Amino acid sequence: MAGAPADDVQHLRGDAATVRPGGRTARVREAVIDATIAELTEVGYAALRVDAVAERAGVNKTTVYRRWGNKAGLVSTALIERRGRLVPPADTGTLRGDLIELLKEIRLGLDVPWVAVLHREAGPRGAANADLYELLDRFWPARFKVSGVIFERAVERGELPADTDPGFLLEMISGPLYFHWLMLGHPLDDDFLERMADFMLHGARARPPESEAPSPRTSRSRPLST
């Protein structure tokens, strides 16, 4: 089973991988991360203040500013430390099973209150939330790359054609999922996830007639290498 590329894991984790366990530095880091998550859950990202995080953590605010810079740095560290474990979805032996497992993993993430806050506050990309998207732009590409392993496995099994575009399929999975949860406020129950997996499975396998096939130049994502 394919694993997460080492360079992507290191890029996502940043300086987190250089912090040795134990000792005062590690304790301060954990206290600040815990305080960031608690404040984020209570007040949201827009109202999050570095001073409040420092006070809650019992750490001098000068130390927090020096190490993390701003609230984007704090939340980025929390994402990396608490949600940045890059592990390919479980290999169930079928694409359908892998899709369902992936959707359940996404649901687990959205069930985390402070993660849900980030998604609810993100809104349309723009100047007002540029710093939030700056940290999300670091977080999501590596996650997408690891999640795309399910389509690589499907190609190897012969379930999907070799020119399958994993990035496109992941976008098609994410869109309906977030609309159902964020815009409509509906729960992501097992029945919905299984229906989504079946719908996406048929769509991923469908091939247009040769005369109607889109030009590969119009695709924004790269197909899987063979």
Quote the radius of gyration of the chain (alpha carbons, Å). Answer: 20
Q: What is the DSSP letter of 20?
A: P
Per-residue pLDDT of the chain (226 residues; tens, 9 = 90+): 344 444 444 444 444 444 455 688 899 999 999 999 999 999 999 899 999 999 999 999 999 999 999 998 899 889 888 887 767 888 999 999 999 999 999 898 889 999 899 888 877 777 667 877 887 787 778 888 889 999 999 999 999 999 999 999 999 998 899 899 988 999 999 999 999 999 999 888 876 666 555 555 444 444 444 3
Identical topology for domains 6-83 and 95-206: no
CATH of domain 6-83: 1.10.10.60
Q: What angle do CA 114, 116, 122 make, to 5 degrees?
A: 105
Provide the residue type at 140 as one letter. Answer: W
Domain 95-206 has CATH 2.40.50.140: no
In 3D, which of 147, 162, 149 has the Cα closest to residue 103? 147
Residue 97: CB partners within 8 Å, gap ≥ 6? none
Domain ranges of the chain: 6-83, 95-206
